[in-house]
């Protein structure tokens, strides 16, 4: 199903798309645009493969830190390009993409979410997994309740926050708890990882099941637990069919998957995809 799309002449619809994207951006951030050379596109400093112009990336909220860094590095490596990010919950982003939002690249926190985009025919080619994330038990610094594993979370008086089953981290938590056979009743099912983490940091809960990357970016301690191996979350990325700058979009995806990209993701706590 993707082959047919691959055959389509990319350049034929690229230019009007670029103009549309430019027009939209001009309306929003005219000043920033003036520096990008979007309208002219004849930047002499652009490198040989012709990759330049703006790239808009919709990425899962858990990618905020690592992708922001990668974006800056990408712009440095490809003068003439500008990477703009929209970080939010994967599902919300998927909905926006399916409603025609002007994005070039979509990076989701779960294959299920990515599937809503591919099923709607909005992906240009098959998604590829570029990173994996694993659940940890986030506890306050110093681990005051000496939590060592999932079973410890069922101790009386221990309040736990999970993500809601509708969002990827919640689905993963459910899988892990089922695998461990731990009958845990959380006090809350949060809308996203950040919600669960903020409850922990405010001291309202004693533990939260969150991604390792989120724990790493926050002032909490992470307790690894064996059952999380069964609930590893793959992060897929794809160039979108409505991409206004597909060449640069492809280049960005390649950069994320490169060694330098992988290094940035690992630093943020991600694991490399299974070989």
Interface residues with another protein (CB under 8 A)? 89, 91-92, 95, 159, 161, 164, 166-167, 186-191, 195, 198-199, 202-204
Is residue 69 within 8 Å of residue 264, measured between CB atoms?
yes
Find residue 88's DSSP bridge partners. 60
Pairing relationship of beta strands 160-163 and 188-190 according to DSSP bridges: parallel
The CB-side HSE value for 271 (13 A sphere, CA atoms) comes to 14
How many angstroms separate the CA atoms of 21 and 38, rounded? 10
Give the nearest distance from C-beta 56 to another protein in angstroms. Answer: 22
Give the nearest distance from C-beta 119 to another protein in angstroms. Answer: 13
Place of tokens 């459910």: 174
Cβ proximity to another protein: between 200 and 264 the closer is 200
Tokens of 176: 């892990």
Give the nearest distance from C-beta 272 to another protein in angstroms. Answer: 27
Is residue 62 within 8 Å of residue 133, measured between CB atoms?
yes
Cβ proximity to another protein: between 173 and 265 the closer is 173
Cβ proximity to another protein: between 190 and 214 the closer is 190
Per DSSP, the residues of 93-152 read HHHHHHTT---SEEE-S-HHHHHHHHHTT-BSS--EEEEEE-EEEEE-TT-TT---SGGG
Q: Residue 27, class by beta-carbon neighbours within 10 Å (0-12 exposed, 13-18 middle, 19+ buried)?
A: exposed
DSSP 249: H
Cβ proximity to another protein: between 69 and 115 the closer is 115
Cβ proximity to another protein: between 53 and 195 the closer is 195
How many angstroms separate the CA atoms of 31 and 93, rounded? 26
The whole-angstrom distance between residue 13's C-alpha and the CA centroid of its chain comes to: 27
Give the nearest distance from C-beta 203 to another protein in angstroms. Answer: 4
Give the nearest distance from C-beta 188 to another protein in angstroms. Answer: 3
Cβ proximity to another protein: between 77 and 92 the closer is 92
Give the nearest distance from C-beta 167 to another protein in angstroms. Answer: 5
Give the nearest distance from C-beta 117 to another protein in angstroms. Answer: 13
How many angstroms separate the CA atoms of 221 and 233, rounded? 20
Give the nearest distance from C-beta 7 to another protein in angstroms. Answer: 31
């Amino acid at each position: 199903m993707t082959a047919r799309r691959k055959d389509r002449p990319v350049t034929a619809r690229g230019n009007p798309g670029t103009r549309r994207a430019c027009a939209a951006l001009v309306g929003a951030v005219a000043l920033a645009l003036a520096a990008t050379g979007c309208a002219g596109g004849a930047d002499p400093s652009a490198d040989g493969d012709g990759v330049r112009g703006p790239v808009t990336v919709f990425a899962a909220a858990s990618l905020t830190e690592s992708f922001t860094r990668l974006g800056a590095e990408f712009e440095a490596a490809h003068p003439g390009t500008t990477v703009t990010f929209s970080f939010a919950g994967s599902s919300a982003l998927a909905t926006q993409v399916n409603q025609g939002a002007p994005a070039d690249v979509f990076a989701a926190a779960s294959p299920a979410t990515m599937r809503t985009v591919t099923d709607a025919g909005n992906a240009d080619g098959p998604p590829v997994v570029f990173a994996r994330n694993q659940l940890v038990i986030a506890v306050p610094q110093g681990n005051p309740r000496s939590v060592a594993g999932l079973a410890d979370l069922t101790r009386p008086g221990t309040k736990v926050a999970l993500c809601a089953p509708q969002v990827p981290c919640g689905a993963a938590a459910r899988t892990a708890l089922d695998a461990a056979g731990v009958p845990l009743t959380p006090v809350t099912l949060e809308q996203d990882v950040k919600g669960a983490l903020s409850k922990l940091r405010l001291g309202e809960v004693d533990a939260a099941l969150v991604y390792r990357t989120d724990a790493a970016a926050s002032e909490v301690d992470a307790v690894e637990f064996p059952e999380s191996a069964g609930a590893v979350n793959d992060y897929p990325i794809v160039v979108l069919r409505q991409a206004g700058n597909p060449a640069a979009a492809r280049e960005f995806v390649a950069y994320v998957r490169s060694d330098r990209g992988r290094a940035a993701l690992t630093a943020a706590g991600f694991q490399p995809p299974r070989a």
